[in-house]
Amino acid sequence: MPDRRRGEVAVTLGGERCVLCLTLGALAELEEALGVADLPAVAERFAAGRPSSRDILAVLAARLRGGGRPLSDEAVAALPLADGVEPVARAVADLLVATFGSDGENPPQPQDA
């Protein structure tokens, strides 16, 4: 069962229920995959609500690895989508909301120690 407080979302891929997890490593991987410098740039990229399939794949792959599934981008791309891309895109959107808030424009700021 995914833990929303930890930023986890579940999605079915390849006939198997997978947990997508937000981790600092997954976010750093996503910045690199999207070729952006920081989290606000990631948020801006998705704020328009028109992600490409490459964007969805980058988020999905990073989050699967964050959830403990060590799959390559190629293995993630090859997973069958029995229910189509919509549930996957919805899970990715849920993850982005969990990360950046409801509007995607105000990423969380680091807390002072």
- Enumerate the domain spans of the chain: 4-100
Question: If DSSP codes are grouped into helix, strand and coil, which group holds residue 9?
Answer: strand
Can you give the pTM of this predicted structure? Answer: 0.72
The backbone torsions φ and ψ at residue 25, rounded to the nearest 5 degrees and listed phi first, read -65, -40
Higher local confidence (pLDDT), 28 or 46: 28
Angle at 76 between CA 72 and CA 79, to 5 degrees: 140
The backbone torsions φ and ψ at residue 94, rounded to the nearest 5 degrees and listed phi first, read -60, -40
How confident is the model over 84-89, as a mean pLDDT?
Answer: 85
Tokens of 88: 């996957």
